[in-house]
Protein backbone atom coordinates (compact mmCIF):
# COMPACT_ATOMS: atom_id res chain seq x y z
CA UNK A 1 0.00 0.00 0.00
CA UNK A 2 2.84 2.38 0.77
CA UNK A 3 3.95 2.50 -2.86
CA UNK A 4 0.67 4.23 -3.71
CA UNK A 5 1.72 7.31 -1.79
CA UNK A 6 5.04 7.74 -3.55
CA UNK A 7 5.59 10.34 -6.26
CA UNK A 8 2.87 10.23 -8.89
CA UNK A 9 5.44 10.67 -11.66
CA UNK A 10 5.67 7.45 -13.61
CA UNK A 11 9.17 5.98 -13.62
CA UNK A 12 9.66 4.84 -17.21
CA UNK A 13 12.08 1.89 -17.49
CA UNK A 14 15.36 2.86 -19.16
CA UNK A 15 14.88 0.23 -21.85
CA UNK A 16 11.84 2.14 -23.10
CA UNK A 17 13.95 5.30 -23.46
CA UNK A 18 16.45 3.40 -25.57
CA UNK A 19 13.71 1.87 -27.70
CA UNK A 20 12.12 5.29 -28.33
CA UNK A 21 15.33 7.06 -29.34
CA UNK A 22 16.69 4.20 -31.43
CA UNK A 23 13.35 3.91 -33.24
CA UNK A 24 13.14 7.64 -33.81
CA UNK A 25 16.79 7.82 -34.95
CA UNK A 26 16.26 4.93 -37.41
CA UNK A 27 13.10 6.57 -38.77
CA UNK A 28 14.93 9.87 -39.36
CA UNK A 29 17.93 8.17 -41.00
CA UNK A 30 15.68 6.32 -43.44
CA UNK A 31 13.49 9.36 -44.04
CA UNK A 32 16.27 11.84 -44.84
CA UNK A 33 18.46 9.21 -46.49
CA UNK A 34 15.64 8.51 -48.91
CA UNK A 35 15.02 12.23 -49.37
CA UNK A 36 18.65 13.00 -50.29
CA UNK A 37 19.37 9.56 -51.70
CA UNK A 38 22.42 9.69 -49.45
CA UNK A 39 22.11 7.46 -46.38
CA UNK A 40 25.67 8.09 -45.21
CA UNK A 41 25.00 11.81 -45.00
CA UNK A 42 21.73 11.09 -43.17
CA UNK A 43 23.51 8.91 -40.61
CA UNK A 44 26.19 11.56 -39.95
CA UNK A 45 23.77 14.48 -39.65
CA UNK A 46 21.40 12.58 -37.36
CA UNK A 47 24.33 11.36 -35.25
CA UNK A 48 25.17 15.02 -34.61
CA UNK A 49 21.62 16.17 -34.02
CA UNK A 50 20.24 13.38 -31.83
CA UNK A 51 22.43 13.88 -28.75
CA UNK A 52 21.23 17.49 -28.79
CA UNK A 53 17.60 16.35 -29.17
CA UNK A 54 18.02 14.08 -26.17
CA UNK A 55 19.62 16.77 -24.01
CA UNK A 56 16.95 19.41 -24.62
CA UNK A 57 14.08 16.91 -24.33
CA UNK A 58 15.18 15.68 -20.91
CA UNK A 59 16.06 19.19 -19.80
CA UNK A 60 12.52 20.26 -20.68
CA UNK A 61 10.70 17.22 -19.24
CA UNK A 62 12.62 16.75 -16.01
CA UNK A 63 13.66 20.31 -15.19
CA UNK A 64 11.72 23.08 -16.95
CA UNK A 65 8.25 21.56 -16.75
CA UNK A 66 8.43 20.53 -13.03
CA UNK A 67 10.20 23.73 -11.99
CA UNK A 68 8.06 26.24 -13.86
CA UNK A 69 4.94 24.81 -15.55
CA UNK A 70 3.81 22.78 -12.53
CA UNK A 71 4.38 25.84 -10.36
CA UNK A 72 2.42 28.04 -12.77
CA UNK A 73 5.44 30.15 -13.74
CA UNK A 74 4.70 30.05 -17.46
CA UNK A 75 6.61 33.18 -18.44
CA UNK A 76 9.84 31.92 -16.88
CA UNK A 77 9.33 28.58 -18.59
CA UNK A 78 9.07 30.15 -22.05
CA UNK A 79 12.08 32.41 -21.41
CA UNK A 80 14.28 29.44 -20.40
CA UNK A 81 12.91 27.34 -23.25
CA UNK A 82 13.70 30.03 -25.83
CA UNK A 83 17.21 30.47 -24.41
CA UNK A 84 17.73 26.69 -24.53
CA UNK A 85 16.59 26.56 -28.15
CA UNK A 86 18.91 29.44 -29.01
CA UNK A 87 21.93 27.69 -27.45
CA UNK A 88 20.99 24.44 -29.15
CA UNK A 89 20.70 26.18 -32.53
CA UNK A 90 24.20 27.63 -32.27
CA UNK A 91 25.77 24.34 -31.14
CA UNK A 92 23.93 22.26 -33.74
CA UNK A 93 24.77 24.63 -36.59
CA UNK A 94 28.48 24.74 -35.71
CA UNK A 95 28.74 20.96 -35.27
CA UNK A 96 26.95 20.35 -38.57
CA UNK A 97 29.25 22.79 -40.37
CA UNK A 98 32.51 21.31 -39.04
CA UNK A 99 31.57 17.60 -38.75
CA UNK A 100 29.03 16.92 -41.47
CA UNK A 101 28.78 19.38 -44.33
CA UNK A 102 29.55 23.02 -44.94
CA UNK A 103 26.14 23.26 -46.59
CA UNK A 104 24.26 23.26 -43.30
CA UNK A 105 20.82 23.21 -44.96
CA UNK A 106 20.98 20.98 -48.03
CA UNK A 107 17.22 20.41 -48.26
CA UNK A 108 16.65 24.13 -48.93
CA UNK A 109 16.63 25.54 -52.46
CA UNK A 110 20.11 26.84 -53.33
CA UNK A 111 22.96 27.45 -50.94
CA UNK A 112 21.77 28.74 -47.57
CA UNK A 113 23.79 30.49 -44.92
CA UNK A 114 23.65 29.83 -41.19
CA UNK A 115 22.13 32.30 -38.74
CA UNK A 116 19.58 33.58 -41.25
CA UNK A 117 15.96 34.00 -40.28
CA UNK A 118 14.70 31.11 -42.42
CA UNK A 119 17.35 28.72 -41.14
CA UNK A 120 16.74 29.66 -37.50
CA UNK A 121 12.98 29.13 -37.93
CA UNK A 122 13.47 25.77 -39.69
CA UNK A 123 15.84 24.37 -37.06
CA UNK A 124 13.79 25.71 -34.15
CA UNK A 125 10.55 24.25 -35.49
CA UNK A 126 12.28 20.90 -35.89
CA UNK A 127 13.39 20.97 -32.26
CA UNK A 128 9.96 22.10 -31.06
CA UNK A 129 8.47 19.11 -32.92
CA UNK A 130 10.79 16.69 -31.12
CA UNK A 131 10.15 18.44 -27.79
CA UNK A 132 6.39 18.33 -28.24
CA UNK A 133 6.37 14.65 -29.26
CA UNK A 134 8.47 13.49 -26.32
CA UNK A 135 6.70 15.75 -23.80
CA UNK A 136 3.25 14.59 -24.88
CA UNK A 137 4.31 10.96 -24.51
CA UNK A 138 5.73 11.62 -21.02
CA UNK A 139 2.71 13.64 -19.86
CA UNK A 140 0.34 10.99 -21.21
CA UNK A 141 2.17 8.28 -19.25
CA UNK A 142 2.05 10.45 -16.12
CA UNK A 143 -1.66 11.15 -16.65
CA UNK A 144 -2.47 7.45 -16.98
CA UNK A 145 -0.36 6.70 -13.89
CA UNK A 146 -2.07 9.45 -11.89
CA UNK A 147 -5.50 8.25 -13.01
CA UNK A 148 -4.72 4.71 -11.84
CA UNK A 149 -3.32 6.05 -8.58
CA UNK A 150 -6.45 8.09 -7.90
CA UNK A 151 -8.64 5.08 -8.67
CA UNK A 152 -6.59 2.98 -6.25
CA UNK A 153 -6.77 5.67 -3.58
CA UNK A 154 -10.53 5.87 -4.06
CA UNK A 155 -10.85 2.11 -3.63
CA UNK A 156 -8.78 2.28 -0.44
CA UNK A 157 -10.84 5.20 0.84
CA UNK A 158 -14.13 3.43 0.12
CA UNK A 159 -12.90 0.20 1.66
CA UNK A 160 -11.71 2.07 4.77
CA UNK A 161 -15.03 3.87 5.13
CA UNK A 162 -16.97 0.64 4.63
CA UNK A 163 -14.91 -1.08 7.31
CA UNK A 164 -15.49 1.87 9.63
CA UNK A 165 -19.24 1.80 9.02
CA UNK A 166 -19.36 -1.94 9.56
CA UNK A 167 -17.42 -1.57 12.80
CA UNK A 168 -19.99 0.99 13.96
CA UNK A 169 -22.80 -1.53 13.55
CA UNK A 170 -21.22 -4.11 15.82
CA UNK A 171 -20.87 -2.03 19.02
CA UNK A 172 -24.27 -0.48 18.29
CA UNK A 173 -25.86 -3.93 18.28
CA UNK A 174 -24.00 -5.13 21.36
CA UNK A 175 -24.89 -1.95 23.22
CA UNK A 176 -28.59 -2.63 22.62
CA UNK A 177 -28.26 -6.30 23.57
CA UNK A 178 -26.37 -5.53 26.78
CA UNK A 179 -29.12 -3.09 27.71
CA UNK A 180 -31.61 -5.93 27.29
CA UNK A 181 -29.42 -8.23 29.36
CA UNK A 182 -29.12 -5.56 32.06
CA UNK A 183 -32.90 -5.24 32.23
CA UNK A 184 -33.30 -9.01 32.63
CA UNK A 185 -30.60 -9.09 35.30
CA UNK A 186 -32.45 -6.43 37.33
CA UNK A 187 -35.56 -8.55 37.12
CA UNK A 188 -33.46 -11.57 38.20
CA UNK A 189 -34.89 -13.42 35.25
CA UNK A 190 -34.08 -17.08 34.67
CA UNK A 191 -33.52 -16.17 31.04
CA UNK A 192 -30.17 -14.47 31.72
CA UNK A 193 -28.03 -17.61 31.10
CA UNK A 194 -29.84 -18.28 27.80
CA UNK A 195 -29.38 -14.66 26.74
CA UNK A 196 -25.66 -14.81 27.52
CA UNK A 197 -25.31 -18.05 25.52
CA UNK A 198 -27.20 -16.65 22.54
CA UNK A 199 -25.20 -13.42 22.74
CA UNK A 200 -21.94 -15.38 22.68
CA UNK A 201 -23.07 -17.15 19.50
CA UNK A 202 -23.86 -13.82 17.87
CA UNK A 203 -20.54 -12.35 19.02
CA UNK A 204 -18.72 -15.27 17.42
CA UNK A 205 -20.49 -14.52 14.16
CA UNK A 206 -19.76 -10.80 14.27
CA UNK A 207 -16.13 -11.10 15.38
CA UNK A 208 -15.02 -14.00 13.18
CA UNK A 209 -17.43 -14.44 10.27
CA UNK A 210 -17.95 -10.92 8.91
CA UNK A 211 -14.37 -9.95 8.12
CA UNK A 212 -14.85 -10.40 4.36
CA UNK A 213 -16.71 -7.99 2.08
CA UNK A 214 -19.30 -10.66 1.30
CA UNK A 215 -20.89 -13.39 3.38
CA UNK A 216 -23.28 -16.19 2.54
CA UNK A 217 -26.88 -14.96 2.76
CA UNK A 218 -27.92 -18.10 4.60
CA UNK A 219 -25.43 -17.26 7.38
CA UNK A 220 -26.77 -13.72 7.53
CA UNK A 221 -30.34 -15.02 7.82
CA UNK A 222 -29.27 -17.40 10.56
CA UNK A 223 -27.71 -14.42 12.36
CA UNK A 224 -31.02 -12.53 12.07
CA UNK A 225 -32.86 -15.58 13.39
CA UNK A 226 -30.51 -15.71 16.38
CA UNK A 227 -31.21 -12.06 17.05
CA UNK A 228 -34.95 -12.68 16.96
CA UNK A 229 -34.52 -15.58 19.35
CA UNK A 230 -32.57 -13.28 21.64
CA UNK A 231 -35.44 -10.80 21.66
CA UNK A 232 -37.93 -13.61 22.32
CA UNK A 233 -35.94 -14.54 25.42
CA UNK A 234 -36.60 -11.04 26.65
CA UNK A 235 -40.24 -10.57 25.60
CA UNK A 236 -41.41 -14.19 25.50
CA UNK A 237 -44.52 -15.06 23.51
CA UNK A 238 -45.26 -11.38 22.87
CA UNK A 239 -42.89 -11.55 19.89
CA UNK A 240 -44.51 -12.73 16.68
CA UNK A 241 -41.80 -13.08 14.02
CA UNK A 242 -41.56 -14.82 10.69
CA UNK A 243 -38.80 -15.14 8.08
CA UNK A 244 -39.87 -16.05 4.54
CA UNK A 245 -37.41 -16.99 1.78
CA UNK A 246 -38.27 -17.20 -1.92
CA UNK A 247 -36.01 -18.19 -4.79
CA UNK A 248 -32.68 -19.98 -4.75
CA UNK A 249 -30.30 -18.20 -2.36
CA UNK A 250 -27.68 -20.97 -2.16
CA UNK A 251 -24.14 -19.53 -2.36
CA UNK A 252 -25.53 -16.01 -2.66
CA UNK A 253 -23.13 -13.48 -1.14
CA UNK A 254 -24.26 -10.23 0.46
CA UNK A 255 -22.50 -7.49 2.47
CA UNK A 256 -22.40 -8.60 6.13
CA UNK A 257 -24.69 -6.95 8.67
CA UNK A 258 -26.49 -5.04 5.93
CA UNK A 259 -30.04 -5.97 6.99
CA UNK A 260 -29.57 -6.01 10.74
CA UNK A 261 -30.18 -2.28 11.39
CA UNK A 262 -33.67 -2.61 9.87
CA UNK A 263 -34.43 -5.54 12.16
CA UNK A 264 -33.13 -3.66 15.20
CA UNK A 265 -35.25 -0.70 14.21
CA UNK A 266 -38.38 -2.87 14.44
CA UNK A 267 -37.76 -3.51 18.12
CA UNK A 268 -36.62 0.00 18.81
CA UNK A 269 -39.83 1.62 17.57
CA UNK A 270 -42.32 -1.24 17.20
CA UNK A 271 -42.71 -2.49 20.76
CA UNK A 272 -46.19 -1.76 22.08
CA UNK A 273 -47.05 -3.13 25.53
CA UNK A 274 -44.11 -5.53 25.22
CA UNK A 275 -45.52 -7.06 22.02
CA UNK A 276 -44.54 -6.77 18.39
CA UNK A 277 -45.16 -8.44 15.06
CA UNK A 278 -42.25 -8.69 12.60
CA UNK A 279 -42.35 -10.18 9.10
CA UNK A 280 -39.13 -10.53 7.12
CA UNK A 281 -38.93 -11.57 3.47
CA UNK A 282 -36.01 -12.39 1.20
CA UNK A 283 -36.84 -12.88 -2.48
CA UNK A 284 -34.28 -13.58 -5.19
CA UNK A 285 -35.33 -12.49 -8.66
CA UNK A 286 -32.70 -13.08 -11.36
CA UNK A 287 -30.11 -10.32 -10.88
CA UNK A 288 -31.67 -8.68 -7.82
CA UNK A 289 -32.36 -9.49 -4.20
CA UNK A 290 -35.52 -8.07 -2.67
CA UNK A 291 -35.55 -7.56 1.10
CA UNK A 292 -38.70 -6.59 2.94
CA UNK A 293 -39.36 -6.11 6.64
CA UNK A 294 -42.70 -5.14 8.13
CA UNK A 295 -43.44 -4.47 11.77
CA UNK A 296 -46.27 -3.13 13.89
CA UNK A 297 -45.65 0.50 14.64
CA UNK A 298 -45.95 2.67 17.73
CA UNK A 299 -47.43 6.07 16.89
CA UNK A 300 -44.40 8.37 16.98
CA UNK A 301 -43.15 10.80 14.38
CA UNK A 302 -41.73 9.18 11.29
CA UNK A 303 -38.74 11.52 11.35
CA UNK A 304 -37.72 10.04 14.69
CA UNK A 305 -37.12 6.69 13.01
CA UNK A 306 -34.81 8.16 10.42
CA UNK A 307 -32.25 9.21 13.01
CA UNK A 308 -29.70 7.04 14.78
CA UNK A 309 -26.50 5.25 13.85
CA UNK A 310 -28.11 2.14 12.37
CA UNK A 311 -30.17 3.52 9.50
CA UNK A 312 -27.76 6.33 8.65
CA UNK A 313 -25.04 3.74 8.58
CA UNK A 314 -26.81 1.33 6.26
CA UNK A 315 -27.81 4.11 3.83
CA UNK A 316 -24.20 5.24 3.57
CA UNK A 317 -23.02 1.66 3.08
CA UNK A 318 -25.53 1.15 0.29
CA UNK A 319 -24.29 4.28 -1.49
CA UNK A 320 -20.67 3.17 -1.21
CA UNK A 321 -21.39 -0.40 -2.28
CA UNK A 322 -23.86 0.17 -5.10
CA UNK A 323 -23.66 3.90 -5.95
CA UNK A 324 -27.17 4.54 -7.32
CA UNK A 325 -27.86 0.94 -8.32
CA UNK A 326 -30.15 0.13 -5.40
CA UNK A 327 -33.58 1.09 -4.14
CA UNK A 328 -34.52 1.77 -0.53
CA UNK A 329 -37.97 2.84 0.54
CA UNK A 330 -39.64 3.13 3.96
CA UNK A 331 -43.35 3.72 4.43
CA UNK A 332 -45.96 3.94 7.15
CA UNK A 333 -49.18 2.15 6.26
CA UNK A 334 -52.04 0.94 8.45
CA UNK A 335 -49.99 1.22 11.65
CA UNK A 336 -47.18 -0.74 10.07
CA UNK A 337 -43.67 0.35 9.24
CA UNK A 338 -42.53 -1.21 5.96
CA UNK A 339 -39.02 -1.20 4.53
CA UNK A 340 -38.29 -2.39 0.99
CA UNK A 341 -34.73 -2.78 -0.22
CA UNK A 342 -33.57 -3.97 -3.66
CA UNK A 343 -29.89 -4.64 -4.29
CA UNK A 344 -28.14 -6.13 -7.31
CA UNK A 345 -26.67 -9.61 -7.19
CA UNK A 346 -23.05 -9.74 -8.32
Domains delineated in the chain? 10-151 (no CATH), 189-344 (3.30.565.10)
pLDDT tens for each residue of 100-157: 877 777 766 666 677 888 888 888 898 898 999 998 998 888 888 888 877 776 776 6
pLDDT tens by residue, the chain, 346 residues: 333 333 445 578 889 888 999 998 898 889 888 887 888 888 888 888 899 999 999 999 999 988 998 888 999 999 999 999 999 999 988 888 888 877 777 766 666 677 888 888 888 898 898 999 998 998 888 888 888 877 776 776 666 665 665 555 556 667 767 877 787 788 887 878 888 887 787 777 777 776 777 889 998 898 888 888 888 877 777 788 899 999 999 889 998 888 888 888 787 765 655 678 899 999 999 889 999 999 877 655 444 444 444 567 778 878 888 888 999 988 888 778 889 999 998 7
What integer pLDDT is reported at residue 304 of this predicted model?
44
Residue 305 CA to chain centroid, in angstroms? 32
What integer pLDDT is reported at residue 340 of this predicted model?
93
Cβ(205)–Cβ(219) under 8 Å?
Answer: yes
Alpha-carbon distance of 258 to 326, in angstroms, equals 13
What integer pLDDT is reported at residue 97 of this predicted model?
84
> What secondary structure does DSSP assign to 158-187, as a single string?
HHHHHHHHHHHHHHHHHHHHHHHHHHHHHT
What integer pLDDT is reported at residue 112 of this predicted model?
66
Q: What is the three-class DSSP state of 255?
A: coil
What integer pLDDT is reported at residue 280 of this predicted model?
95
Which residues partner with 293 through β-bridges? 280, 339
Q: Note the pTM of the prediction, 2 decimals.
A: 0.53
Q: Whole-number mean pLDDT of the chain?
A: 80
Which residues partner with 216 through β-bridges? 253
What integer pLDDT is reported at residue 166 of this predicted model?
59
Work out whether strand 276-285 and strand 253-254 pair parallel, antiparallel, or are unpaired.
unpaired
What integer pLDDT is reported at residue 1 of this predicted model?
34
What integer pLDDT is reported at residue 8 of this predicted model?
42
What integer pLDDT is reported at residue 291 of this predicted model?
96
Taking the CA of residue 256 as centre, how many other CA atoms within 13 Å lie in the half-sphere pointing to its CB?
23
- Total residue length of the chain: 346
> What secondary structure does DSSP assign to 85-111, as a single string?
HHHHHHHHHHHHHHHT-S-S-TTSSS-
Alpha-carbon distance of 13 to 298, in angstroms, equals 68
Amino acid sequence: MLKIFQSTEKKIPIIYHFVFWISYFSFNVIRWGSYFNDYWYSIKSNAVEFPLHIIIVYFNIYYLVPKFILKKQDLKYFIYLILSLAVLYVVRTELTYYLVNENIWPEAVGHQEAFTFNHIVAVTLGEVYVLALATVIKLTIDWVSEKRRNEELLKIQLKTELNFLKSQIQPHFFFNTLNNLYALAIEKSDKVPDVILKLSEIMQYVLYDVKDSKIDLLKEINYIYSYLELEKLRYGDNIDSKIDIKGNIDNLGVPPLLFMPFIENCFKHGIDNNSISVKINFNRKKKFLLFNVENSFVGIAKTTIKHGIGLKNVKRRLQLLYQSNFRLRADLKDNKYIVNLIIPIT
